[in-house]
Structure 1
Amino acid sequence: MNWKPDFSSEIPLYVQIKEFIKTKITLGEWSVGTKIPSQRALAALYNVNRSTVVTALHDLIAEGLLEGNTKGGTRVVNNSWNLLAAAPPPDWSSYVQAGTYYPNQPVIQNINRAEFQQGIVRLGTGELSEDLLPSEQMKSIFAGSSMNAFSLGYEEPKGNLYLRKQLADYLQGRGVSASPSNILIVSGSLQALQLISMGLLPRGSSILVEKPSYLYSVHVFQSNNIKLVGLPMDEQGVQTNLISRYKEGYHASLLYTIPTFHNPTGALMSEARRQELMRICTNEGLPIIEDDVYNELWFDTPPPLPLKARDPHALVLYLGSFSKTLSPGLRIGWVVAPEPVIDRLADIKMQSDYGSSSISQWAAAEWLQRGLYQEHLVSLRDQLKRRRDLTVQLLTTYFTGMAAWHVPAGGFYIWVEITVEIKMQVLFERALKAGILLNPGTIYHRQTGNYLRISYAYAKPDELEWGMAQLAALMKQLAGT
């Protein structure tokens, strides 16, 4: 209300006042129902005749924005753009529906919104709890001096060379041979999948994925008109005996797999199954996307070597990330692939975001170069194992007779099969109303509607205990037992 009309302007004073009030309404500062100051008060405030204010208010009443009477004063009754514009505003809903990128499933949209509500216990969230993130060590990295000063400018198309050199050395420990030239830095493994879908696959092609799979919960491939074909799994991973038949039947272009601590099932592909998978895909000439973001989160013994470590024919596109181990906020992942593939993906990445954050890349390289990352992993594995054991104990205590599960050897997830008759959509809604956020199995495949993905990585131990007990009570109510 510090605004004053411009007495030197050629625009009449009543018009200036009218436009100012209109702006207050359209910006939401004076919302519908707001009682505006009296004519006398406005005239004194703007140092104009009362008749000038009356004229301005009459125009706004005529436009349907204000309503006035002698007893109740003048109030805002409408803020519609249709009343303010000379021509009708654009129909943004039609623009939204015309976009080619698929929207999230409604349940995922609900989950994304609910994750940021206060007081929600998130039993399915696939990220590390705040108290598991190395915030203090990260502060010390930025506060301390380093011979490798970071840049505030853009990085080269493939990413920061310092980081790529550190990654090449680090991946040797996983048995993966890589040089900086065949590593691309991406903003998390999800961006890697998006680049692959845009840069390597023709529209209308098919890819084989595990059933269920994390890939069903995102639309990076479907939005490029690429079909996902589900391959059944068992305790050892994808059933390799079906690959040849499915490849031929669906003319599949590649296979996507999470062989180590699978999302959402937590399954660990055995050594024998990995060898068989590589043998079949080599014979079929079927490229593989290996998503290995959970590789370092083992509890008792390291997992078998990645598929990429047994890849003399450059069949595997290898994806990794720091999001599940160090910091989801860094948004740093990588792709290891033949140089022509990396060059192609790097070109597309430059067209989409002109490179991942240079500061994040520098920080990730410092974690590797100083040996801090390996130290952090030792502590993180211990903490996650404790949470897994607690969650298994809670399942045994509260869910025996209502659910079945396997104990994972690492990663974030327990894939819980609900064995009593319950409408899962009702369970999701009731749980959310009670302050518990779930990840139902339908997110990961339509045929796994009687499953829940339970994560022990995000909720704190006391939240896990409360949330699992409340969830069990809800299930008993819905099952009528």
Structure 2
Amino acid sequence: MFIEWRPNRPSNQSLHQQIVDWMKQQITRGEWPVATKLPSQRSLADSFGVNRSTIITAIDELIADGLLETKVGSGTFVSNNTWNVLVSSKQPDWKNYVRNGLHEPNLKTIQDINQYETDTAIIRLGTGELSPSLLPTKKIEKTLQSTSFDAHSLGYSEPKGDKRLRQCISVYLETKGVNASPSSLMIVSGGLQALQLISVGLLQKGSMVLHESPSYLNSVHPFQSAGMHLVGLSKQGRESIPTQIKRINGRKKASLFYTVPTFNNPTNTTWTKEERLNLLSICKKDQIPIIEDDVYSDLWFEKEPPLPIKSLDTDGLVLHIGSMSKTLSPGLRIGWIAGPITVIERLADIKMQMDYGSSALSQHLVAEWLASDQYSKHLEWLRYKLIVRRDFTLTLLNQYFKGLAEWQIPQGGFYIWLKLCKPIVNPNLFKQALKENILLNPGYIYEPNNNTHLRLSYSYASEEQLAYGIQTLSKIIRRLI
């Protein structure tokens, strides 16, 4: 439970009474239904900015009023006594609804990450997002100011998305060797929505989804929540991934294979052209569609990566996902899917049922950037800035993490997949770092039971934050070891 409210210190009313009144309000309004568990006394004290003794006094008063109850070894809960039942007699059992909802909840660590990322005092060492200083804010403002709109351009777009934007993306994909006509493209609200549409639009409940492991898929639940069964395949194993696919598919038919083949999230590995051809060959033979998540491929440094798997696809086997979130702005919420027209029309129909199309304003802006040379110029500048950040981070790791961890030099993207020398990546390390205002992305959110890796990002935190965060993290790790 994340609490944003704080008592008003200049008020004539005591702090403890303000807290009592606010908690009563949460209960009587139904925002805290019966059986809601309160955070610990220490957490409440931190949230409210008061002493723990103030919290104890407030809770004791609410217990005396019959609104709260304590259960030994379990904590403090909204009471289920007669007075409270009368207050909440019209409340449905929301706890039961929440428990039985179809969508899988995030892991507790993911929930904490989502919560603390909004705290400006936190140093975000694992965030897969561009720093505000790397976003072309002023240039985007200038584009919007110099662009004229009519009522039609700001209305709902057609099911596949703005036609001009799809034409621009089609031309852009040609530079990557991908031939996708505007009719075979659809606009989505970011890459994650593409996966959600695929999960509910193309697969049956119980389908087996193969993916390389560790994987971004384990940190979100688009397939799991739709009733799919995920099977992770390791590139580091004795068998190649094509061999693993052949063996697994011989027992049970796989529905698709998901991959981030260029600057992978979280490992930052990149498939060679030969590996891409081998994957395409086995998937073609076994008729397993490939979902190619290609959101990082524009962020190469010294050398361009191999062309996308989609560029090698002559059979309509690959659904290709792209996005502007990692290069232009995550807030625009603009991505796309390229694939066979029948598939695109199916997914577009479902998207119209979900949100009636992505933001018309964002689509118009991205089309303007792609139609001019603004996007390509921005990418050149962004790559340079990311190289500087990467090199600075590598210098820090060489200074503070020698003997503590191993890592590879990133050739693009956002991430360093840091392998610690001891298996101490667990919720305790996560909490210890939080105490120092450092937010981590631990390996176990990308691969169950991975207690040796951290996903470090050089794309978000400032140089000052990176320097303090990496040095402090090394001290925490040495202490735990």
Give your verdict on TM over 0.5: yes
- The range that moved more, 111-120 or 159-168, is 111-120
1:63-462 equivalent positions in 2, closer than 5 A: 82=84, 85=87, 87-145=89-147, 151-234=153-236, 239-422=241-424, 424-462=426-464
Deviations 1:280-310 (A, max 9, x none): 1112211100000001000001110100001
Q: How many residues were matched structurally?
A: 412
User: Residue 466 of structure 1 aligns with which residue?
Assistant: 468
Letter in 1 for 2:99: Q
Letter in 1 for 2:185: I
Letter in 2 for 1:198: V
Letter in 2 for 1:329: G
Q: Distance in 1 between matches of 2:156 and 2:436?
A: 46
Q: Distance in 1 between matches of 2:232 and 2:417?
A: 17
> 2:426–2:444: 8 Å Cα contact kept in structure 1?
no
Deviations 1:38-60 (A, max 9, x none): xxxxxxxxxxxxxxxxxxxxxxx
Tell me the TM-score normalized by structure 1: 0.81
Q: Distance in 2 between matches of 1:246 and 1:410?
A: 32
Q: Distance in 1 between matches of 2:460 and 2:159?
A: 34
Q: Distance in 2 between matches of 1:149 and 1:308?
A: 36
Q: Distance in 2 between matches of 1:394 and 1:196?
A: 41
Deviations 1:408-439 (A, max 9, x none): 21001110111125353221110011000000
> 2:265–2:415: 8 Å Cα contact kept in structure 1?
yes
| Pairwise CA distance, 1:249 | 2.7
Letter in 2 for 1:164: R
Q: Distance in 1 between matches of 2:26 and 2:431?
A: 34
Q: Distance in 2 between matches of 1:150 and 1:366?
A: 17
> 1:208–1:255: 8 Å Cα contact kept in structure 2?
yes
Q: Return closer, same or farther for 1:439/1:65 CA change in 2, 3 Å cut-off.
A: closer
| Pairwise CA distance, 1:450 | 1.1
Q: Which runs of 5+ in 2 are unaligned?
A: 1-20, 30-64, 68-78
Letter in 2 for 1:454: L
Letter in 1 for 2:322: G
| Pairwise CA distance, 1:148 | 8.7
> 2:66–2:84: 8 Å Cα contact kept in structure 1?
no
> 1:124–1:438: 8 Å Cα contact kept in structure 2?
yes
Letter in 2 for 1:449: N
Q: Distance in 2 between matches of 1:93 and 1:145?
A: 48
Q: Return closer, same or farther for 1:313/1:433 CA change in 2, 3 Å cut-off.
A: same
Q: Distance in 2 between matches of 1:320 and 1:136?
A: 24
Tell me the TM-score normalized by structure 2: 0.81
Q: Distance in 2 between matches of 1:473 and 1:319?
A: 40
Larger Rg computed on CA atoms: 1
* Secondary structure in structure 2 of the residue aligned to 1:210: strand
| Pairwise CA distance, 1:147 | 8.6
Q: Distance in 2 between matches of 1:475 and 1:169?
A: 48
Q: Distance in 2 between matches of 1:169 and 1:299?
A: 23
> 2:425–2:443: 8 Å Cα contact kept in structure 1?
no
| Pairwise CA distance, 1:24 | 13
> 1:150–1:362: 8 Å Cα contact kept in structure 2?
no
Q: Return closer, same or farther for 1:238/1:433 CA change in 2, 3 Å cut-off.
A: farther
| Pairwise CA distance, 1:149 | 8.5
Q: Which runs of 5+ in 1 are unaligned?
A: 1-21, 31-63, 67-77
> 1:150–1:359: 8 Å Cα contact kept in structure 2?
no
Q: Return closer, same or farther for 1:280/1:25 CA change in 2, 3 Å cut-off.
A: closer
Q: Return closer, same or farther for 1:271/1:148 CA change in 2, 3 Å cut-off.
A: farther
Letter in 2 for 1:437: L
> 2:425–2:442: 8 Å Cα contact kept in structure 1?
no
| Pairwise CA distance, 1:407 | 1.1
Letter in 2 for 1:208: L
Letter in 2 for 1:87: S
Q: Return closer, same or farther for 1:24/1:319 CA change in 2, 3 Å cut-off.
A: closer
Letter in 2 for 1:468: I
* Secondary structure in structure 2 of the residue aligned to 1:87: coil
